[in-house]
Structure formats: structure tokens, C-alpha cells
A and B are shown apart, each in its own frame.
Chain A
Amino acid sequence: MSDAEPVKSIVTPTRLAYEYTATGTQARFLDEISRGRILGQRCPACHKVYVPARAVCPRCGVATTEPVEVPGRGTVTTFCVVRVPSENIHLKLPFVAAHILLDGADIPFFGLVGDCEASEVRMGMRVEAVWAPRETWGPTLANIRHFRPSGEPDVAFEKFKEHL
């Protein structure tokens, strides 16, 4: 035994469980998305619409008040093509992760773009949400599987350059 290699490291498994509760605004968003609707929330001070709905406008530091429904349709403002595997990713590589400005929203929504080659994705491309089968819907963003090209003409850079 004493001839064995000296100990250089130890392994300590750790596991902590936390119970997360969706707050009021988050819960409303999740409830709406479980019915196929995307809920935003408007700031009473700067009048910008946040999607997903959030309780507080970070710019103004005030509670948002007015719920606003937005469509699952928008413009890719910028994106990256992910070609690197990672422990937390279970998607086929490569995939496109994009900032998508949904129509009527003032902040891009994070989404994946599929049903086309990664090389076809471009800034300004119009996309629409592809929903999972209705019977599988739950209170989760996973109801939107990804976005796909909608076929509408591209939007000029000038029109979305504030929303990268």
C-alpha cells in the first residue's frame, strides 16, 4: 500500500436542490405560453415592451405594468452558429442561436433558427415560430421548438440596428 502513488486529489460529489418558484410575471408568461401565446410587458416610464414579460424595467428601475401579447414572428437581428459541443447542449451541431426581435417587442428574444442551412441565416431575415405539437404544450419556452424562415423579404439593417 505504501508503495502506491501519493494522493494528489480527492473527489467530492456535491448536490444541492433548490426549489424555484416562478414569480407573478413569470408565471403569467408561462401560463400564456402554455396556451400558445407570447406575453410581453410594457414599462410605464420608457414605454418599451419586454419579451418575455419581466416584472421590472432594468433601464428605469420601475415595475412594468401593461401586458402586451406579441406574435411569434420577427426579425433576426444577429446570431451565431454554434459548432462546439457542450455538456448542456443536446442539439445537433451546427445550430444557429439568434437574437430575434419579435414584432411589437423592443428587445430581442433568444431563439434557435432551423428548417434551413446555417449558412442561409442572415441579419435582417424574417422568421416565424415553429411550435411543438399542441398536445405537448406546457408552461415552458420549449413549446417554441425553434424559428424558421417565414419567406418575407429581409428587413433593412437601419431598421433594427438599435436592437442587436
Chain B
Amino acid sequence: MAENCAVIGVGQTQHDSKRIDVSQVGLVREAALRALEDAELDWKDIDALVIGKAPDLFEGVMMPELFLADALGGAGKPMLRVHTAGSVGGTTAIVAASLVQAGVHERVLTVAYEKQSESNAMWALSIQLPFQQGVVAGAGGYFAPLIRAYIRRANAPEDTGIRVALKDRLNALKNPYAHLKFPGITFEQVAQSPMLWDPIRYLETCPSSDGACAMVLGNAKAAKRAPHKSAWVHATAMRTEPTQFAGRDQVNPRAGKDCAKELYAKAGITRPRQDIDCAEIYVPFSWFEPMWMENLGFAPEHEGWKMTYEGATALGGDMPVNMSGGVLSSNPIGASGMLRFAEAANQVRGLAGEHQVEGTRRALGHAYGGGSQYFSMWIVGDQPL
């Protein structure tokens, strides 16, 4: 039944704390035009649009895709808008892929964006609602206690997070689109950066960025006509669990484990660390790298930090993670998930530039959101499955 789906074009904007040179229209068009250019296609070649972004309160426009659709050549076409919290960029790509896999469309343009500078993310994420317990200090205040719990459970060395941050920030120096770049950054600089939400330091934290990501997805026929190598979607999966319930393991959530399990089964992966060449995963605070290494089955429980320690997740390691510099280096929230998926695609296309992992044949793209409760993932390969 399902048709093969391939990524035939990828584009992203320059990410920055304030892209004051463009409107929301200009931002999404910048990414979309680059994806179209990569695929050597024009607006008219696109059959449908799938747009993703995180909360509308960030930009102060309710369902902004309604005013952005025609700016993306969408007039007269189907348009969907996905919103699944921080995982949305990934889920948006999955919805777009499903339109191709279902045989509904031949070529779909998918775009995810956030223009956080139009307001203030800390404000939007910490609005106190009547009658409810408050979120004290945005995402950092929410996730820091979980990180402390991980450190305790795994008995992880306290500098693991620093090592992750250093690695991702060095990787970002190879990524022309990255928002945060610290040339010559050292372990000491990360270690000495201020504690914000102890145990999270400033340089272990993601920025707030303006940016967009776009991909053109196509069926086998479209891929055949594409000028560059395609990334073939081997499998997609998503899982959700409630934010809070008695006995919920928020450190190593079952939704993530189940999602990975289904993903690997669909992609024919039995030994993830051997079968997957590199992974681009959603790490908004450095400690989430070892946490997700366990959750994704790359490391046994309580041993994810060893991968960081041993250099396995560095460029040149046996399981490179966040080659682009990751969410720690660019974080336009709604687009952050899609950027992970797009990086995985560019790795198998051999188009990842300076941060290319040579010989990548299979890569993982991963996103999560909410209170570590929404997961979306895909595996892409250099050949159809």
C-alpha cells in the first residue's frame, strides 16, 4: 500500500536571536525557497503544504498558517498545520511524509518555523493560569529537576553535561546556519558559565532563536527526477503519554522507548548503535544527550553518559550525535524538530557539508516535546528500504 517517500530538497534559514531583517513571511520563504532550489523545483510543482510551529502565542497570531499559506505558494492547494509542542517540527515532517506514502500527493512542501523575537519565549511559556500550579521558570525550571534525578540514578559524573555542551558547540562552528557560535570554546568556559537552573549552566542551555526549516518530500517518481541524491524515509513513529501521572518516569519516558522500538522494527534495525550511522536528536539542555542515548536504546540504562565520556557521540566517534550543533546551538522551537529530521536527511544525502559523517547510510532524526511526553522520530537511508 504505502509508497516510498524521499527527501528531495532541504532548506533552512540563518538562525539568529532576532531576524529583524525579515517578516514571518520572509522567514518561511527563505527556508522554503532554499528547499525548492535544492530540489530544482518551483512553487507550482508542489501539491500540498504542511506547516508546523509551536504555540501561536509566540508570534501573537492565531493559526498563522492561514496568512502564510499563499506566501508559500499554497493558493488552491491543501494545507495542514501541525502543533505537537516541541516535537512539532518532527511530527510535521512525518505528516508530510504520510501524504506521499499514502499516495495522496507526489510532492509535498513542509515548513516549520518560529519567530520567537516577536515576543519573549520565557513569557509565553510561564504565563500563570488561574487555579493551577505555576511553571516557575520556563523550560529550564521544568527540566532541571529531571536532570538532577538522572544524575542521581545513573550516578553520572557531574561534568557529563559540560562535555556534551562543549562537543555540540564545537560542532556548531562547522554549521554555517547555526545561531550560537563560540570560536575556540573550552571546557573551562562551559564549566564556569553561570548556573541558571542548577544543575543546568548557561552554556549547557539552548538559545531562543528565529528560524525556519523546509523540506520537499516526494515519491519515487519525484525522487528519480531530483537533481541531488535523495534521503529515503525508512520508518517514522510517534508516541504520546500524559504529562503527569502517579509513578510516571519522566527521566526515561516509556513513550520515547516505545517510539524507538516501533521505529527500529519498521526500519529493520536490530542493533541501533551498529545499524545507525549517526543521530541528530533533540537536546535542549546538554544532559538530555545521555538521557536520550538510554531512551533510544543506544546505551544500557544508566550508561548513556559513558558514550559522551568515551567520545562515541563526537564527530569521529562510533555514534556521532548532533553533528549540526543541535538544539543547543539553534532553537527556533517550532522548527527545531524539523531541523533534526533535515540534518539526518542531509547526512544520508552526503550534503551535510563540514559536519558530514563520511559514509552515512542510515541516520536517525528525533524530536520531543511537552513534559518529555511527545516523541517523533524517523530513520532515513541512502537507498529505499
A residues contacting B by CB (< 8 A) are: 8-9, 12, 14, 20, 22, 26, 30, 43, 46, 48-50, 52, 57-59, 77-84, 86-89, 94, 97-99, 106-107, 109-110, 112, 118, 123, 141, 157, 161-164
Contacts and interface: CB of A to CB of B under 8 A. Distances in A.
B145 A79 contact: yes
Contacts of B248: 59, 107
Given A82-B141, A88-B128, A107 B198 contact: no
Given A20-B131, A84-B196, A50 B246 contact: yes
A99 B145 CA distance: 8
Nearest to A52: B133
Most chain A CB atoms below 10 A, which of B134, B245, B248, B251: B245
Contacts of B249: 162, 164
Interface residues of B, number: 44
Contacts of A94: 198
B152 interface: yes
Secondary structure class of chain A's binding surface, majority of residues: mixed
A89 B247 contact: no
Secondary structure class of chain B's binding surface, majority of residues: loop
Given A84-B196, A107-B245, A22 B131 contact: yes
A141 B60 CA distance: 29
B374 to A, nearest CB: 14
B146 A164 contact: yes
Contacts of A50: 246
Given A80-B145, A99-B145, A107-B246, A20 B137 contact: no
A83 B197 CA distance: 6
Contacts of B131: 20, 22, 26, 30
Contacts of B200: 80
A98 B136 CA distance: 10
A97 to B, nearest CB: 5
Contacts, number: 121
B146 A97 contact: no
A22 B131 CA distance: 7
A82 B136 CA distance: 9
A87 B136 contact: no
Interface string B41-55: 000000000000000
Interface stretch (B72-80, B118-126, B346-354, B376-384): B118-126
A16 B146 CA distance: 34
Most chain B CB atoms below 10 A, which of A78, A89, A161, A163: A78
Contact of A58 (B120, B134, B244): B244
A81 B195 contact: yes
B194 interface: yes
B197 A80 contact: yes
16 contacts: A12-B60, A14-B60, A20-B131, A22-B130, A43-B246, A80-B144, A81-B195, A84-B137, A87-B122, A87-B123, A88-B122, A88-B123, A106-B246, A112-B136, A164-B146, A164-B251
